[in-house]
């Protein structure tokens, strides 16, 4: 990276204070920011990934996985809150990295935010499609044909191969058009869906608690054969790390489940992408980030405890995986089967709010990158009436919609988690760097217990990254560097200014 090409904080603050027809409209207050955060967080990570992590990694100890993932998010969230209060401008971690580590690392972060937000939208859209099929079957006794609601890489047990996940593409298209119409309408829609989602999650926790079977918690942490061999001296630590046993229950399973469940927390950083649309960003941004994260962590742990208590975690390996909540209600919560269609509707609403928030985030990141000259100007063109980056919304409609339509949800879900953990690591590092290089800068919110909080955040995030497959991230980053070297370097506003000196 070249530290010469850094964007000064003074310049960023000038950009944040700009107003007029070429700036984003300021519509977010603390309440709508919290709702945006909760809307972005609670979704597929809770309703789909919980069952997956329990069946494949942690068993009932999935609650510990939630706690570990939440710790990593909380540490990163405190760092995000400091940056967001200091630099109230669209762009999130991309902007923070530009100010602390320079343009090259900023590009890497911005490119990986595309991976985070676009693939998160695609993953949740795939889950949305599954629950829509569930609702159609429950209410009308019909289903969308398998080939039109699954990717070409999926085949049913009857041998039917998928062609396109049409419902997943359609929901991304509809919400992209909603965002083009403006953030005020998006806020109202999001708030309604968030209320529905929280009511359903709380209802499931309260009602499901009475159906918990204590035997399902035995053992709470299922044994890992590889860990037993390691403790008995029958294998080395490295042999265990590279063996198929790693991540399959035991302590390593809890760590792996945290990496999988981390997907369920990534939405909170979407709040930081709308800093330039906040009425009072220095006060409201930390509130929105930290309060939404706290609310969701409590609900996640309780939900995981109830889900694995009502049904045995082994069942999720074969049944109920894609619609685990409906499966648990219909199979075990006798007398409440009538709730299943209503819960499915609420879950669909919840998924919708997640897609809405992530699509909003990705367009704002590229809006800022376009202003910096690193991506084409088309990404920062605002609608003459709605003052939204409508062309950017349309481009990401095609991009995220294509992933949703043609790639299985579990594949893009893991890629999203890995890209997000990488970004969070750099945000924690950026806070450390800025405290050293600009210690006297006014900070409306300060990350507590420096430097321990960002250092711990880095360690926790990196440890979870090792539990995931890096191939996709490496390929994605390589593609990004090709674009940066062929377009970004030539058109960078900062580099042009440097050349003119």
From CA 129, how far away is CA 320, in angstroms rounded? Answer: 15
Task: List 161's β-bridge partners, or say none.
Answer: 155
Do 100 and 437 contact (CB within 8 A), yes or no? yes
Task: Name residues whose C-beta falls within 8 Å of residue 321's C-beta, 6 or more positions apart in sequence.
Answer: 48, 51, 52, 55
The β-bridge partners of 28 are 278
Instruction: Say if CB 391 and CB 397 are below 8 A apart.
Output: no
What is the model's pLDDT at position 78?
A: 86
CA–CA distance, 120 with 107 (Å, rounded to integer): 19
HEC per residue, 299-357: HHHHHHHHHHHHCCHHHHHCCCCCCHHHHHHHHHCCCCCCHHHHHHHHHHHHHHHHHHH
Task: Note whether 287 and 188 are within 8 A (CB).
Answer: no
Structural domains of the chain sorted by starting position, each given as residue range(s) with its CATH number in brackets? 28-485 (1.20.1740.10)
Tokens linked to 79 = 């760092």
Q: How many residues does the chain have?
A: 501
CB 120 within 8 A of CB 400: no
pLDDT at 164: 94
List 107's β-bridge partners, or say none. none
Residue 155: strand pairing partners: 161
- Report residues of the chain scoring pLDDT below 50: 1-3, 20-22
In this prediction, residue 486 carries a pLDDT of 93
Q: Record the tokens describing residue 32, joined without a space.
A: 């709508």
Q: Rounded to the nearest 5 degrees, what angle is found at the Cα of 204, between the Cα atoms of 138 and 212?
A: 105
pTM for this predicted structure = 0.74
**Cα Rg, the chain, nearest whole Å:** 22
pLDDT the model gives residue 501: 63
The pLDDT, as a whole number, for residue 1 is 44
* Calpha distance 117→310 (Å, rounded): 33
At 182 the pLDDT is: 72
Q: Residue 199 in contact with residue 296, Cβ under 8 Å?
A: no
Other Cβ atoms within 10 Å of 225 Cβ, number: 14
């Amino acid at each position: 990276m070249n530290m010469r090409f850094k964007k000064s904080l003074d310049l960023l603050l000038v950009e944040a204070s700009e107003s007029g027809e070429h700036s984003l409209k300021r519509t977010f207050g603390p309440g709508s920011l919290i709702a945006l955060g909760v809307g972005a967080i609670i979704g597929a990570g809770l309703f789909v990934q919980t069952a997956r992590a329990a069946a494949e990694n942690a068993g009932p100890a999935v609650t510990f996985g939630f706690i570990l993932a939440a710790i990593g998010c909380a540490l990163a969230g405190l760092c995000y809150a400091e940056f967001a209060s200091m630099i109230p401008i669209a762009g999130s971690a991309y902007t923070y990295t530009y100010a602390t580590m320079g343009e090259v690392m900023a590009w890497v972060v911005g490119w990986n935010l595309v991976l985070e937000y676009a693939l998160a939208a695609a993953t949740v859209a795939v889950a949305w499609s599954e629950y829509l099929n569930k609702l159609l079957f429950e209410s009308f006794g019909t289903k969308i044909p398998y080939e039109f609601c699954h990717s070409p890489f999926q085949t049913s047990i009857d041998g039917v191969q998928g062609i396109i996940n049409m419902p997943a593409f359609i929901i991304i298209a509809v919400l992209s058009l909603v965002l083009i119409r403006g953030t005020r309408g998006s806020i109202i829609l999001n708030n309604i869906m968030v209320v529905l989602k929280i009511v359903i999650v709380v209802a499931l926790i309260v009602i499901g608690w009475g159906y918990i079977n204590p035997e399902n918690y035995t053992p709470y942490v299922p044994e890992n054969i590889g860990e037993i061999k390691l403790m008995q001296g029958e294998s080395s630590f490295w042999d265990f790390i590279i063996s198929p046993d790693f991540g399959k229950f035991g302590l390593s399973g809890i760590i792996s489940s945290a990496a999988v469940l981390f997907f369920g927390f990534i939405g909170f950083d979407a709040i930081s992408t709308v800093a330039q649309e906040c009425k009072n960003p220095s006060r409201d941004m930390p509130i929105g980030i930290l309060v939404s994260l706290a609310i969701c962590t409590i609900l996640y742990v309780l939900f995981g405890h109830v889900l694995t208590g009502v049904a045995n975690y082994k069942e999720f390996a074969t049944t109920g995986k894609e619609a685990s909540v409906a499966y648990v209600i219909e199979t075990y919560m006798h007398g409440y089967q009538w709730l299943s269609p209503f819960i499915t509707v609420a879950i669909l609403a919840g998924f919708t709010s997640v897609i809405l928030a992530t699509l909003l985030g990705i367009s704002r990141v590229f809006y800022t990158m376009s202003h910096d000259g690193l991506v084409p100007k088309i990404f920062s063109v605002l609608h003459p009436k709605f003052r939204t980056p409508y062309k950017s919304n349309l481009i990401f409609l095609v991009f995220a919609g294509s992933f949703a339509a043609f790639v299985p949800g579990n594949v893009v879900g893991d890629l999203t988690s890995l890209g997000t953990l990488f970004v969070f690591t750099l945000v924690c590092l950026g806070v450390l760097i800025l405290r050293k290089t600009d210690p006297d800068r006014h900070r409306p919110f300060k990350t507590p217990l420096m430097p321990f909080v960002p250092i711990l955040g880095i360690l926790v995030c990196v440890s979870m990254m090792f539990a995931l497959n890096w191939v996709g991230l490496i390929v994605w980053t390589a593609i990004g560097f090709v674009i940066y070297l062929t377009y970004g370097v030539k058109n960078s506003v900062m580099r042009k200014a440097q050349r003119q000196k």
